[in-house]
Structure 1
Amino acid sequence: MTKIDTIIFDLGGVLIDWNPEYVFLDAFNGDKEKMKWFLENICTMQWNENQDAGYPTKQATNDLVSQFPEYKKYIKMYYGEWEHMLRGEISGTVKILEALINSNNYKVIALTNWSSETFPIAQKHFEFLTWFQGIVVSGNEKTRKPFKEIYEITLNRFNINPEKALFIDDNIRNIKAANTLKIKGIHFKNPEQLQNELTTYNIFIK
């Protein structure tokens, strides 16, 4: 097996617990069905990913308000209350990240789908974001995972050999896209599973 020399982390869902439900469950007075319908039909993940690829959040909000004026209050909450969607760090993964960095055996990079407008808020909250040798933020690049371009940007910017790189993401779609560029991947489910799967690449966390 080719020795891994670079580890690329996704952020949301891997290192950071981010979820719109933390805002909208309260907004809909605990009615999970109403919340689920709203997030699947109005402020959808596909809509959010458009902003992750660089579309302005204010324009995106106005677009939806024009389309669904009866939901104006809730649509405006999405980015208005965005900071409250950040619950905290996923501590088990942060410990793994710290161990990998302290080992000095790997180049450790982050590749995240994140709006350039909201990412500075996360940077204020999470000190571990300063540990990476580099972070590629989709909103700054005007593209996002799973599109090939953002992986190529990451590889080229940090002089990464894809066959010696390992990518960790909670979305299997993004892992499969990385695989097409010969980047190995781990589909993240929880820190314990991640630590176990790292051993298959001869990466051991002390």
Structure 2
Amino acid sequence: PRYSQKTIDAFLDNDISGFYDVNDLMDGGTSTEEAIAIMRERKGDKWADILDYYIKNFRDSLTGIVPGARVLVDDLKAAGIGVWGLSNWEASLFHVAEEQCDILQKLDGKLVSGFVKLRKPHKEIYDAALKEFGIKADGALFIDDKAMNIVGSNAAGIRGVRFQDPVKLRELLIANGVNIPDVQ
């Protein structure tokens, strides 16, 4: 990598670089060019230049699919359960995730924050997802790794479950009557 671990750690410290604030703006529809300019204005050239480098090399930041998630999605779909994606993601970078994470192609539909200019955990994006996917809140289950997004789904009337790992999620689904194969 071009930057030392110390510099990367500082970049990922929002109090120092403002990265997560600017990332939220991008997830909400701000272009990467605007985000770099905002960071340059708020935090200076050093952090703006690192953000530019991060965006240009975004592919390298993706770590891949959570082990076991692909099998769980396949099993849910085989059981006739609809599986959709709702993601906070910058619009111009989402294609990178689609190229590297083939599990996204298996979903019945996707709603991406950067395209609709709405962002989790705000209620409006959950409402937009329900409408887009043609499903009702009381029959849906929202799964996310961030607690604040679960709070948002609950506010929209969608039961939310915090994702820990595919095995625990599979066990929870089976315990709640979803007919998918149990862990052997």
* TM-score over 0.5 (shorter chain): yes
Deviation at 1:140, TM superposition (A): 0.8
Out of 30, 41, 45, the position equivalent to 1:69 is 45
Unpaired runs of at least 5, structure 2: none
**1:197 corresponds to which letter in structure 2?**
L
**Are 1:188 and 2:163 an aligned pair?**
yes
Contact 2:150–2:161 (CA<8 Å) still a contact in 1?
A: yes
Q: For each residue in 1:61-82, what CA deviation from the matched residue of structure 2 results, as whole angstroms up to 9, or x when unmatched?
A: 1221233123343222121111
What residue in structure 2 maps to residue 145 of structure 1? 120
Dislocated runs of 4+, deviation >6 Å = none
Q: Report how many residues are paired.
A: 178
**2:148 corresponds to which letter in structure 1?**
R
1:119-138 alignment, distance < 5 Å:
119-138=94-113
Deviation at 1:94, TM superposition (A): 1.5
Contact 2:79–2:180 (CA<8 Å) still a contact in 1?
A: no
Out of 85, 93, 97, the position equivalent to 1:118 is 93
Unpaired runs of at least 5, structure 1: 1-25
Q: For each residue in 1:56-101, what CA deviation from the matched residue of structure 2 results, as whole angstroms up to 9, or x when unmatched?
A: 0111112212331233432221211111111211131111011101
**2:27 corresponds to which letter in structure 1?**
D
Identity over aligned residues, as a percent? 28
Pick the structure with more strand per residue.
1
CA distance in 1, matches of 2:114, 2:83: 20
**Are 1:161 and 2:136 an aligned pair?**
yes
Q: For each residue in 1:96-149, what CA deviation from the matched residue of structure 2 results, as whole angstroms up to 9, or x when unmatched?
A: 011101111x22111000111000111112222111111001111011101111
1:1-206 alignment, distance < 5 Å:
26-31=1-6, 34-40=7-13, 41-67=16-42, 68-104=44-80, 106-206=81-181
Does 1 or 2 have the higher relative contact order (CA < 8 Å, sep 6+)? 1
CA distance in 2, matches of 1:111, 1:79: 22
Distance 1:39 1:161, change over 3 A: same
Distance 1:178 1:71, change over 3 A: closer
Pick the structure with more helix per residue.
2
